[in-house]
């Protein structure tokens, strides 16, 4: 291994030369307590900054075993280290001067969720720590300014590393709190299944966010209060007993007047599939982590999806057992979203009337009388919601502001009133009974055949032979793989643009190595999940270095992404 002095020597040599001479710095250097690795050097000062990683042995880093052995505490520790390291680095960013991105020090900026990220990885067995960041190598015009890079690599960076990446120098109390929170959150997750709950919302939780563009907690929000009839107590291993609302498995309806906090509650449940940092307000809002938000998504592409459970006999004679379109309608898109979520193994649907296709959700009695059944291809969700629970074990939590028909189907009804929930199941059911008359002569809907999931992708010869497939992230909303743009704006449980980016790499990996004409979508998605789970996100990136801006998505989002790639065509397997 080269030494830090070798790098210093090299920098002196290439000072004032043309920018490409920076390429010679690529490699690993021993810096006393850590190894600095220059993984990729930018082509010019205006290009994407250079990729650098820091490697510290577990022995030197010294984090306690109980923080790194279990996945949930390890992820929480890595998250805390990124935040700390990022704060340190930020203070030094652009202190070294020059043209273009000179002097930039860029570290992943996690939001409110705690996600596994390539920015910081900890080996569970050895405790070895890797931190990845980007640095703008300084230049004057296009001439190397090695003195400024020296400042960064020999003064700023060692400082940041020393202060934030060694247990001995860290705020031990804070890290212990991080570990305990992760353990408590994990405990609630495990309790959900045990107690047959779909979700838990703790008393005192703060659900609303600061604004439409800020995910921080709203200041002066009305904090959550549990309706007595739905109260459950969780004996957390560290925080002790907490009370909150347990939403049982089955069918739950959230009703209430406009602006009373229905969608805010549902949104918090959507994000409850992830753990949140201390101070977020949703630390103890925990949802079954297979939950999928279902919404209408006009215009999405659908490939060979069996939506016949909901839609049959389309006017154009299209086969709904293998439905394919480049431009789905509200109802067909929502039907496909349901079926694909079933395929992805969800146990809980989260639906908001605000973002649903009405004709997918219900069928009005009067409309049913006027437009004859034979002329209506849609069996609405309301006619399947019980079947989905009874035959497939999938619960539904549904926000309904205007449509009362679901009162008949719901096991539990929660009313939001000035941001406070109360359980009104009995009262609402009574009211509903008085209306039963008109539902009397409703025909019994026969059970649907279970959806057929088996869809195959042909080997992608072009992708397999190419090492030039470019992945370009467009924030959280889309990623383009080899110029095929995958729209993910309505995949609402993607929490971070780094997850979107990671999905891009997964699609690329699948196209290059997994599609073989035999493996179906489910196997493909599960293989990607397993690979990343066992070997880290780097397992699906085959480049010379691992990008520092990837976060691990859930298998549900891997499915969602594969299902939305317009560039892929599927065939229905036998
Ligand atoms: P609904 O879906 O019932 O129409 P929303 O959930 O969209 O209502 O909430 C309406 C507004 O109230 C939003 O601006 C939201 O931020 C705010 N809000 C929601 N819950 C709370 C709360 N607990 N405290 C204060 N404001 C809230
Ligand atoms: Mg709403």
**What are the CA-CA distances from residue 164 to residues 80, 87, 88, 404 (Å)?**
10, 9, 8, 55
Neighbouring residues of 191: CB distance < 8 A, sequence distance ≥ 6: 197, 200, 234
143 backbone dihedrals φ, ψ, rounded to 5°: -105, 135
Asked whether residue 372 carries a pLDDT value surpassing 90, the answer given is no
The ligand placed nearest to the CA atom of residue 355 is 2
- In this prediction, what percent of the chain has a pLDDT beyond 90? 87
In the reported structure, the alpha carbon of residue 262 is separated from the centroid of ligand 2 by a whole-number distance in angstroms of 6
Which pLDDT does position 542 carry in this prediction?
83
Q: What is the 3-state secondary structure (H, E, C) of 430-450?
A: HHHHHCHHHHCCCCCCCCCCC
**CA 163 to CA 156: how far, in whole Å?**
11
Asked whether residue 464 carries a pLDDT value surpassing 90, the answer given is no
Per-residue pLDDT band for 364 (boundaries 50, 70, 90) equals confident
For the chain, the helix, strand and coil percentages under 3-state DSSP, each to the nearest 5: 40, 25, 40
Asked whether residue 439 carries a pLDDT value surpassing 60, the answer given is no
Residues 563 and 303: beta-carbon distance below 8 Å: yes
Provide mean pLDDT across the span 300-320.
92
Which pLDDT does position 466 carry in this prediction?
83
467 backbone dihedrals φ, ψ, rounded to 5°: -110, 20
Provide mean pLDDT across the span 482-486.
92
Assess whether the C-beta atom of 267 lies below 6 angstroms from ligand 1.
no
The ligand placed nearest to the CA atom of residue 265 is 1
Provide mean pLDDT across the span 197-205.
98
The residue contributing the CA closest to ligand 1 atom 6 is 261
pLDDT in tens, 223-238: 999 999 999 999 999 9
Select from 208, 219, 253, 269 the residue to mutate for testing ligand 1; criterion: most ligand atoms less than 8 Å from CB.
Answer: 208
Asked whether residue 465 carries a pLDDT value surpassing 90, the answer given is no
CB-based neighbours (< 5 A) of ligand 2, an ion: 263, 354
The ligand placed nearest to the CA atom of residue 261 is 1
In the reported structure, the alpha carbon of residue 354 is separated from the centroid of ligand 2 by a whole-number distance in angstroms of 6
Closest ligand 1 atom to Cα of 264:
6
Which pLDDT does position 196 carry in this prediction?
98
Provide mean pLDDT across the span 255-273.
97
Provide mean pLDDT across the span 322-337.
96
Closest ligand 1 atom to Cα of 257:
3
Assess whether the C-beta atom of 415 lies below 6 angstroms from ligand 1.
no
Instruction: Give the H/E segment covering residue 140.
Output: strand 139-140
Q: What is the mean pLDDT of the chain?
A: 95
Select from 205, 222, 259 the residue to mutate for testing ligand 1; criterion: most ligand atoms less than 8 Å from CB.
Answer: 259
In the reported structure, the alpha carbon of residue 20 is separated from the centroid of ligand 2 by a whole-number distance in angstroms of 55
pTM: 0.96
Residue of 479, 473, 499 whose CA lies nearest to 557: 499
Per-residue pLDDT band for 437 (boundaries 50, 70, 90) equals low
The ligand placed nearest to the CA atom of residue 257 is 1
Assess whether the C-beta atom of 221 lies below 6 angstroms from ligand 1.
yes
Assess whether the C-beta atom of 419 lies below 6 angstroms from ligand 1.
yes
Q: What is the DSSP string of 177-201?
A: HHHHHHHHHHHHHHHHHHTTEEEEE
Assess whether the C-beta atom of 222 lies below 6 angstroms from ligand 1.
yes
In the reported structure, the alpha carbon of residue 237 is separated from the centroid of ligand 1 by a whole-number distance in angstroms of 32
pLDDT in tens, 147-197: 999 999 999 999 999 999 999 999 999 999 999 999 999 999 999 999 999
Asked whether residue 102 carries a pLDDT value surpassing 90, the answer given is yes
The ligand placed nearest to the CA atom of residue 281 is 1
pLDDT in tens, 335-355: 999 999 999 999 999 999 999
Asked whether residue 440 carries a pLDDT value surpassing 80, the answer given is no
In the reported structure, the alpha carbon of residue 215 is separated from the centroid of ligand 2 by a whole-number distance in angstroms of 17
**CA 412 to CA 397: how far, in whole Å?**
9
Looking at per-residue pLDDT, the higher value among 534 and 369 belongs to: 534
Provide mean pLDDT across the span 325-331.
96
Assess whether the C-beta atom of 207 lies below 6 angstroms from ligand 1.
yes
Asked whether residue 128 carries a pLDDT value surpassing 70, the answer given is yes
Closest ligand 1 atom to Cα of 267:
6
The residue contributing the CA closest to ligand 1 atom 27 is 208
């Amino acid at each position: 291994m080269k030494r830090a002095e070798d790098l210093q020597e090299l920098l002196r040599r290439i000072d004032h030369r043309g920018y490409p001479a920076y390429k010679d710095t690529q490699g690993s250097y021993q810096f006393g307590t850590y190894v600095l690795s220059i993984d990729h050097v930018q082509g010019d000062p205006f290009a994407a900054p250079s990729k650098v990683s820091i490697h510290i042995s577990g022995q030197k880093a010294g984090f306690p075993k109980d923080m790194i052995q279990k996945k949930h505490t390890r992820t929480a520790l890595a998250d805390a280290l990124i935040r700390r390291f990022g704060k340190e680095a930020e203070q030094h960013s652009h202190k070294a001067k020059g043209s273009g991105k000179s002097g930039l020090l860029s570290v992943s900026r996690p939001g409110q969720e705690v996600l596994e990220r390539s920015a910081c990885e900890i080996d569970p067995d050895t405790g070895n720590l890797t931190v990845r960041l980007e640095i703008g190598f300084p230049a004057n015009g296009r001439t190397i300014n090695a003195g400024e890079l020296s400042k960064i690599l020999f003064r700023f960076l060692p400082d940041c590393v020393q202060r934030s990446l060694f247990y001995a120098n860290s705020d031990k109390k804070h890290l212990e709190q991080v570990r305990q929170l992760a353990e408590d959150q994990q405990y609630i997750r495990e309790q959900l299944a045990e107690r047959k709950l779909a979700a838990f919302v703790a008393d005192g939780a703060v659900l609303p966010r600061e604004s439409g563009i800020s995910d921080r907690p709203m200041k002066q929000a009305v904090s959550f209060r549990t309706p007595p009839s739905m109260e459950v107590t969780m004996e957390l291993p560290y925080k002790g007993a907490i009370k909150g609302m347990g939403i049982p498995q089955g069918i739950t309806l959230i009703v209430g007047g406009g602006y009373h906090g229905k969608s805010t509650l549902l949104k918090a449940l959507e994000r409850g599939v992830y753990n949140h940092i201390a101070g977020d307000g949703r630390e103890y809002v925990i949802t079954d982590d297979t939950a999928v938000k279902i919404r209408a998504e006009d215009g999405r592409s659908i490939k060979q999806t069996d939506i016949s459970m909901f839609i049959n006999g389309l006017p154009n004679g299209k086969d709904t057992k293998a439905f394919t379109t480049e431009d789905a309608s509200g109802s067909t898109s929502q039907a496909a979203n349901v079926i694909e979520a079933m395929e992805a193994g969800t146990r809980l649907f989260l639906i908001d009337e605000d973002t649903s296709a009405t004709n997918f959700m219900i069928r009005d009695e009067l409309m049913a009388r006027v437009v004859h059944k034979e002329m209506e291809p849609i069996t609405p969700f309301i006619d399947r919601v019980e079947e989905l629970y009874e035959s497939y074990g999938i619960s539904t939590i549904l926000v309904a502001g205007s449509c009362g028909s679901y009162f008949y189907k719901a096991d539990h009804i929660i009313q939001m009133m000035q941001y406070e929930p109360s359980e009104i199941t009995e009262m609402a059911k009574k009211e509903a009974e008085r209306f039963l008359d008109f539902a009397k002569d409703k025909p019994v809907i026969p059970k649907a055949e279970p959806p057929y999931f088996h869809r195959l992708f042909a080997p992608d010869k072009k992708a397999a032979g190419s090492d030039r497939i470019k992945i370009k992230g467009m924030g959280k909303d889309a990623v383009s793989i080899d110029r095929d743009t995958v729209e993910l704006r309505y995949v609402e449980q993607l929490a971070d643009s780094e997850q979107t980016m990671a999905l891009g790499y997964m699609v690329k990996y699948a196209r290059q190595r997994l599609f073989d004409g035999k493996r179906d979508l489910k196997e493909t998605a599960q293989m990607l999940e397993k690979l990343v789970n066992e070997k880290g996100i780097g397992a699906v990136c085959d480049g010379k270095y691992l990008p520092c801006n990837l976060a691990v998505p859930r298998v549900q989002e891997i499915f969602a992404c594969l299902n939305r790639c317009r560039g892929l065509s599927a065939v229905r397997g036998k």
